[in-house]
Chain A
Amino acid sequence: MRNEIGITNIHMAQNLLRDMLFRFLNNPRTRPNQNSYWDQNREKLRQAFPQDLRGFGDCSKTWRGIAQTISSAFSAFGKYVNEQDISEGRKVIIPAWQAKVAKSDEITNTELFKSLMSCWNSDLHNFALGFYVHGSLASRDYTAYSDCDTMIFLKSSSAQSMNDLIQLRNILIPT
């Protein structure tokens, strides 16, 4: 039986999960017991998914506890998505960097792309569907001001696995 929660709640929960996952995987300064960020957001998720309380992990003081919260919430999330709220699919082809960037003569950027590819080949491909560079570096209209904008799409199975999330954090944050 489908669980029903409001549209605002499912959108809020998705944004909250994205933010939590982003902090967990990207921010080396984040500490599990540093502030109440994790506790507060776990409570918000409990309110968004009231029928799935038990799976959300009780401990936010360790990385494992936080990974358990995030992975459990991702597991529950799919049950609440309303098919009527989804539009028809739009297919996008994203060319490999070798085809688009490597022909250029900018050695520094070629080195940058090679190091990103090395990260993908060594570990990341086990957990992610794809690894992309977007923004000015990809469209080659960058200036000295430009950042390197990247995007990783995780596999559902990895987002729903506590162990995978912990391994991913170790890959993405240098130690």
Chain B
Amino acid sequence: MKFYPETYLPIECYRNAVTIGGRESLVFNNRNASDESLKALDNLASALINRHRHIKTMSVKEYKNYLSYIMLLPALVLGCHGQYLYKRDSFSIAKPLFSSSEWSVVDWASQQRLFWQPKGLYSSMIKMTCKVCPKYAPLMLQYIDYLIRKTHFFDRATRMRAFQLPENFASNTVDFANAAKRLARSDAS
């Protein structure tokens, strides 16, 4: 893989991957991607800041993406300093760089990931739609997401547990995103 930017997918991720078919050995010749790493981080941090007010009215897909953004940000901070890690491994290294209140947002997102309901009504709808009509499933699921958002059906469709945001979630999210931007540009981390 000549001219490979690790912003696409860190090489560490391939070390944890499995081959379905084809070459089991790959050689990566990286190129510098520092500018793109910083841009990706800025975009993600801005998305976190701009969207946190709408978290209670997000569709399932938007909500899932939002949680993913939170959990990806620590890896992007390290990526801006040339440390491209597997997302899971980035948490322990990035955590000391943030204050406990800033990091509480990551802890909350990780908890939400664990509490995701595997057999909720929403999962059933996805499975049925994909089975009955695979060609139009993406379009239909987009419309189902739209209806869920409009009717505030989200909690009942996806989660058994009550949806409660942690205390100071809004301010902690903004602080977390701003800290990530700051850390990405600092020399200390």
Kindly state the separation between the CA atoms of A97 and B113 in the bound complex, as whole angstroms.
25
Contact B116 A145 (CB under 8 A): yes
Are B19 and A132 in contact, with the CB atoms below 8 A?
Answer: yes
Cβ–Cβ contact A134 & B19, under 8 A: no
Q: In the complex, what residues of A have CB within 8 A of residue B13's CB?
A: 134-135
Interface residues of A in 62-113 (CB under 8 A from B): 81, 85-97, 99-101, 113
Q: Once the chains are docked, how many angstroms separate the CA of A130 from the CA of B21?
A: 6
| Residue contact A101 to B18, C-beta cutoff 8 Å | yes
Q: Which residues of B contact A150 (CB under 8 A)?
A: 20
Stretch at the interface among A10-18, A37-45, A53-61, A164-172: A10-18
Give chain B interface residues in 118-163, CB to chain A under 8 Å. Answer: 118, 123, 134-135, 138-139
B28, A89: Cβ atoms under 8 Å?
Answer: yes
Say which residue of A14, A92, A97 sits within 8 Å of B28 (CB atoms): A92
- Of the candidates B23, B33, B114, the one having the most CB atoms from chain A within 10 angstroms of its own CB is B23
B29 touches A131 (CB 8 A): no
Contact with B along A104-133 (1 / 0, CB 8 A): 000000000100110011001100111111
Residues of A within 8 A of B17 (CB): 94, 132-134, 138, 151
> A15 and B117 in contact (CB under 8 A), knowing A90-B30, A91-B26?
no
Q: Is B36 a contact partner of A130 (Cβ separation < 8 A)?
A: no
In the assembled complex, which residues on chain B have CB atoms less than 8 Å from the CB atom of A18?
8
When distances are taken between beta carbons in the complex, the residues of chain A under 8 Å from B112 are 145
Nearest CB on B from A126, distance (A): 11
**Does the CB pair A143–B114 fall under 8 Å?**
yes
Contact of B20 among A8, A116, A144 (CB under 8 A): A116
Q: A92-B26, A121-B21 are in contact. List 8 more A-B contacts (CB 8 A).
A: A29-B138, A85-B31, A90-B29, A120-B20, A132-B14, A132-B17, A143-B114, A144-B118
**Interfacial residues, chain A to chain B (CB-CB below 8 A):** 7-8, 11, 14-15, 18, 28-29, 81, 85-97, 99-101, 113, 116-117, 120-121, 124-125, 128-136, 138-139, 141, 143-145, 150-151, 153, 174-175
Enumerate the 4 nearest inter-chain pairs by beta-carbon distance, A residue then B residue, closest first: A130-B22, A144-B118, A120-B21, A145-B116
A-B contacts, 10 listed (Cβ < 8 Å): A14-B3, A28-B138, A85-B3, A90-B11, A95-B19, A96-B24, A117-B21, A120-B20, A130-B26, A153-B26
